[in-house]
Amino acid sequence: FEYQGQKCSACSRAYVPRSMWPEFQSKLQDEIGKLKQGQPDDFEVFVTAVIDKTSFDKISGYIDRAKASDECEIIAGGGYDDSVGYFIEPTVIVTKDPNYETMRDELFGPVLTVFVYDDADWEATLKLCDEASQYALTGAVFARDRAVISQASRALRNTAGNFYINDKCTGSIVGQQPFGGARGSGTNDKSGSAAHFLRWMSARSTKETFVPLTQVAYPHQQP
């Protein structure tokens, strides 16, 4: 919800195991309730307005469709007001459909969509996570079991150019942490790293011979 979700690394979808969902939901709602929304010149404010009417209309449209959908439930936020600025409440949608539009599309707003999966479907959920969206910039996994972390890292190797383990999927500082993603997120050039400079170069290979050839045939072809 930082910057009203208007940054490319903002967390927009989450997959939560059913056994952990009641506790997770309660804590998530409590934390969202603490986020102060208002004008940006108030330093206690965490969430302010989205950038313009186009963004406001787009995001509020997604929220309205979620409210009307039998596949979705809004458990936090869901309100919006453009009377003075384009304000949208930090919103959490819980969906029964892992391919619901807000699990696939980039809203660029303060909206998080959650899919609650059965614990036994862990591996299938990794596949869902990998295939749900065209974007592949950032992602995170939270787990204590190192085997599970390793499994997730392998399964999601093409899902996120910046992959976080037990940390939020946003907030990297270019120059300290190479940053970039593939698929619809770009060419994964990793700005802030030496790899990025290669995109601005045209490589050339040069060979200089100091012992010239004196015959066409190779040595093993000589009589």
Condensed to tens digits (0 to 9), the pLDDT of residues 83-136 reads 999 999 999 999 999 999 999 999 999 999 999 999 999 999 999 999 998 988
Residue 85 zone, left/alpha/beta (φ > 0; ψ -120 to 50; rest): left
Cβ–Cβ < 8 Å for 115, 14: yes
| Rounded CA separation 163/141 (Å) | 8
pLDDT confidence of residue 183: 85
* 191: β partners: 179
pLDDT confidence of residue 67: 97
Residue with tokens 């940006």: 40
pTM score, two decimals?
0.84
Collapsing DSSP states into helix, strand and coil, what is residue 91? Answer: strand
